[in-house]
Amino acid sequence: MKDEMVAAICRELAQQKDYLGGEPLETIYFGGGTPSLLGQRDLDLIFGEIFKHYPISAQPLEVTLEANPDDLTALKINELRQTPVNRLSIGVQSFSEEDLRFMNRAHNASEALACIQNAQSAGFENLTVDLIYGSPITSHEQWAKNLETVIGLNVPHLSCYCLTVEAKTALAHQVKKGTAPPVDDDHAAKQFEHLLAQTELAGYEQYEISNFARQGWHSRHNSSYWQGKKYLGIGPSAHSFDGVSRQWNVANNAQYIRSLTAGEVPFEREVLTPTQRYNEYVMTGLRTKWGCNLLKIKGMGFETQFAEGAKTFLEDGTMERCGDVFRLTRQGKFLADGIAAELFAED
């Protein structure tokens, strides 16, 4: 039902044209699912609706498309070069065959390597590669090799995530049955430490817990999200934020298409309480190099709570303060989610 889905997406783009209040677009991100299944004609239809209904920022748009290595054939890459897409996010995860089988990935190590090289040869300079560390079968030697490979390819941006065992997944079932080893926190922490050391040595800045970029290659899209800017999500399951409320579309593809065909956007909405907005700011802010600004927190009405809660982390060296800005130290980055949770407020 790809044609019907693209048509529904185009209808939603037209109906939601006022959501961002006329603010010009700075970034466009094709992510979630497998957007690389879209052909040039599909992308042209979607871009046509975007450019018809939304003002565009004076600075060049950052247009990212997520893709799996097995989808990024030389033909596909050249097709994408004919569209406004100028940044590729490639889900490599590992350059080890054993790792890829364990993660149930469709591509192999040679495809992972080839797609990066082909994208660069075709003129895509702005690339980001996803890698996963902390897998119980990924040795420290293999993790080091993964980093050496991607750094050696001069990929300017890396997103590195620790393997987590999500409930109701195949991996969770295997771990429960004992057919797959559990994730070990110490094993993951050592690989995270190596990640910090290697990326720093290679000239990458850790500007968010999981994101590393060479100078000038930060993800503008993700940075906007972490800094609390508005965004509009289009398609099934897509989430949007207008600065005050969040809304999310129905997850069912068929229901989404039926609703848009009938002229309705199928979403639910919640207005964030002051407490929720404060908690989200703390959660996202502490993960970034920009940290949390006490003046902004004061404007939210939580200055005393935050300052009192932060004392413990300032004293134990997991947090540092520079003027009104609070940031996590290198040690604190290992404990980011837990520190944020301790600083949360309750309604």
Distant-in-sequence, close-in-space partners of 121: CB < 8 Å, separation ≥ 6: none
238-284 per-position pLDDT tens digit: 999 999 999 999 999 999 999 999 999 999 999 999 999 999 999 99
State yes or no: pLDDT of 175 exceeds 80: no
In a domain, 141, yes or no: yes
Q: Note the pLDDT of residue 165.
A: 80
What is the SS3 assignment for 289?
A: coil
Tell me which of 226, 243, 262 is where a domain ends: 226
Quote the percentage of the chain above a pLDDT of 90. 88
CB 305 within 8 A of CB 227: no
Residues 221 and 115 in one domain: yes
In a domain, 11, yes or no: no
Residues 190 and 293 in one domain: no
In a domain, 321, yes or no: yes
State yes or no: pLDDT of 171 exceeds 80: no
Residues 105 and 206 in one domain: yes
CATH number reported for the structural domain that contains residue 208 in this entry: 3.30.750.200
Quote the percentage of the chain above a pLDDT of 70. 100
Domain count, the chain: 2
In a domain, 34, yes or no: no
In 3D, which of 12, 28, 31 has the Cα closest to residue 83?
28
18-56 per-position pLDDT tens digit: 999 999 999 999 998 789 889 999 999 999 999 999 999
DSSP string, 230-277: -B---STT-EEE-SSEEEEE-S-HHHHHHHHHTT---EEEEEPPHHHH
Residues 170 and 82 in one domain: yes
In a domain, 9, yes or no: no
Q: Note the pLDDT of residue 111.
A: 92
Residues 92 and 205 in one domain: yes
Residues 79 and 190 in one domain: yes
In a domain, 10, yes or no: no
In a domain, 30, yes or no: no
State yes or no: pLDDT of 347 exceeds 90: no
Tell me which of 189, 209, 226 is where a domain ends: 226
Q: Note the pLDDT of residue 21.
A: 93
Residues 220 and 308 in one domain: no
Q: Note the pLDDT of residue 177.
A: 83
In a domain, 242, yes or no: no
Residues 299 and 208 in one domain: no
* Residue span of the structural domain in which 322 resides: 274-343
Residues 196 and 284 in one domain: no
106-137 per-position pLDDT tens digit: 899 999 999 999 999 999 999 999 999 999 99
Residue bearing the bigger pLDDT, 180 or 305: 305
CATH number reported for the structural domain that contains residue 318 in this entry: 1.10.10.920
State yes or no: pLDDT of 168 exceeds 90: no
Q: Note the pLDDT of residue 181.
A: 81
Q: Note the pLDDT of residue 326.
A: 98
Residues 160 and 308 in one domain: no
CB 56 within 8 A of CB 24: yes
Residues 221 and 285 in one domain: no
Residues 221 and 76 in one domain: yes
What's the pTM value of the predicted model, to 2 decimals?
A: 0.93
